[in-house]
Structure 1
Amino acid sequence: MNENYSDKQSVPSIPKIQETLVQINDKPKSFLNSKQWIGSFEACLVIDTYYDVPCKIIHVNKGDELSYIVDTLMDHFKKFGSPVMMGGDIDCSSKGIMGIQVVDGDASLLVVDPHYVGKEESKEFLQRKGWVKWQPLKDFISSSFYNLCLPQIKSIKAS
C-alpha cells in the first residue's frame, strides 16, 4: 500500500477516470467522453490505480441477501473505517456507506448520497431532504444486485 497516501491528493476528473479505465483495458475507447456508468467495480480500479489503495469488492446477488454481509461490513468499519461505495442495477443510485448499526437484530446502513452539491446547510436539513439517512436493509430493493467497494485503508479517525 502506498505509504505516501494523503487526503490532500487531487481527485481525478471524470474524463481522466474514463481515460484511465480505457488505458488499463477495463473499457473500450468508445467509453471516452461518454455518459456510461462508472460503478463500484470501476471505482475500485481507479482507487487502486491512482492511490495504490487496494479495495475489496463484494457482490450481493439480491437486496434480500444484504443481511449476509453484515459481519463483513462491521469488520470493515472496525478495522478500516473508510467509506464504502455501493451501487446496483435496478437500484442504480450510488450510495456512500459511512457506517452500520444493528438494533434488535435489524441492520441499517448509514447512507450518504454522493450527488449532494452545495454548502452544508445543517444536519437536520441533510436528513430531512434524504441526503443522509439510516436505511434499514429491508428497504433496499430485494431484486436488485449490489456491488460494494471497500477501500482497504484506514481512515484518519480509525488510525
Structure 2
Amino acid sequence: MATLLYKMSSLLTNIHECAGISKDSGKTYLISGNYKYYHYLCDGFDDRGWGCGYRTLQTICSWMSDNQDYDVKVPSIREIQEILVQLEDKPAAFVGSRQWIGSFEVCLVIDKLYDVPCKIIHVNHGDDLKTVVDALVSHFEKFGSPLMMGGDVDASSKGIVGIHVGKSGASLLVVDPHYVGKQQSSEFLFNKGWVKWQRLSDFLSSSFYNICLPQVKAKCKSS
C-alpha cells in the first residue's frame, strides 16, 4: 500500500466553525483562537487504532503555538513519547511503542513544553457528565483553550472545543482525531461526523471520563 504523505501546512484550521451552534435553544461557549486539526496518518505516520490521544494533544499544541508566545513546534508522536520517558512517567521501552496516552499524559506534556498547568476533571460515569457542565462553561469563558477528553470503556480520546447548554440538556462540540484520509474541507468532516455536537446523554454511561483543561488564555503573539 502506498504511503500516505500530507504536508503539515495543509492541515485544516478551526474545523468546528462549520458546525455552527447547537440547534437547541440556549447558550453556546466556544474556544478562543486558532488550532490545526491533527488526526490519524495526517503526517504520514500510521497510528491507526492507538494514536488518538497523541493527535488530540497535537491539536492542543497547535493552539498553544498559534495563540501564545511560545517558540515550540508541535511535537511528533515519537517526541511526545520521549518527553514522557524523560519525565519518568513511562519506561524507556515506551518510545517507539503503540501504547496509547490519556488525559493525564497530555497534562504532563503540556506542562513540560509550555509551562502551562492543566486541571483534570474525573467523572466516574458518563451519566455524571452533567455535573461538570458549569466547570466546562467556566473554562471556556475564562480560558478558551481546547480540552482533551478520554475514558476507559469509551477509550476514544477526543478534543472538545465548545459546550452548548440548552433547555433539553448540554452538548459538547467534539473534534474527533480518528479520521483517516486527505483533508478535504471542514464541511466534509462535519458531514461525516468527525466534528459534531454530541449530547452528554450520548456518552457511554458505563465509562469513566477524564478531561484535561489547560489553564491558559488565548492571546495575541508579540509582533
Q: TM-score, normalised by structure 1?
A: 0.89
Q: Partner amino acid for 2:182?
A: G
Q: How does 1:51-62 map to 2 (within 5 A)?
A: 51-62=114-125
The residue that corresponds to 1:128 in the other structure is: 191
The residue that corresponds to 1:145 in the other structure is: 208
Of 183, 196, 220, 1:119 maps to 183
Structure 1's 55 and 15: CA in aligned 2 closer, same or farther, altered over 3 A? same
- Distance across 1 between alignment mates of 2:114 and 2:186: 31
Displacement of 1:59 after TM fit? 1.0
Residue 92 of structure 1: SS of its match in structure 2? coil
Q: Partner amino acid for 1:118?
A: K
Task: Indicate the larger mover: 5-14 or 37-46.
Answer: 5-14
Task: Indicate the larger mover: 23-32 or 34-43.
Answer: 23-32
What do the CA deviations read for 1:103-152 (whole angstroms, capped 9, x no partner)? 105000000112345334242x2221001111000000001011111001
What do the CA deviations read for 1:39-86 (whole angstroms, capped 9, x no partner)? 111011000001111111111111111011000000000001100000
- Distance across 1 between alignment mates of 2:79 and 2:101: 12
Structure 1's 128 and 44: CA in aligned 2 closer, same or farther, altered over 3 A? same
Residue 198 of structure 2: SS of its match in structure 1? strand
The residue that corresponds to 1:101 in the other structure is: 164
Displacement of 1:94 after TM fit? 1.4
Whether 1:38 and 2:95 are equivalent positions in the alignment is no
Q: Higher strand share goes to which structure?
A: 1
Displacement of 1:155 after TM fit? 2.3
Task: Indicate the larger mover: 66-75 or 20-29.
Answer: 20-29
Q: Partner amino acid for 1:27?
A: K
Taking only the aligned residue pairs, the percentage that are identical comes to 65
Q: Partner amino acid for 2:113?
A: Y
Whether 1:110 and 2:173 are equivalent positions in the alignment is yes
Residue 160 of structure 2: SS of its match in structure 1? strand
Residue 82 of structure 2: SS of its match in structure 1? helix
- Distance across 2 between alignment mates of 1:78 and 1:16: 32
Number of residue pairs the alignment of both structures matches: 153
- Distance across 1 between alignment mates of 2:119 and 2:210: 10
Structure 1's 42 and 105: CA in aligned 2 closer, same or farther, altered over 3 A? same
Q: TM-score, normalised by structure 2?
A: 0.64
Q: Which runs of 5+ in 2 are unaligned?
A: 1-67
Residue 34 of structure 1: SS of its match in structure 2? coil
- Distance across 2 between alignment mates of 1:122 and 1:36: 29
CA root-mean-square deviation: 1.9
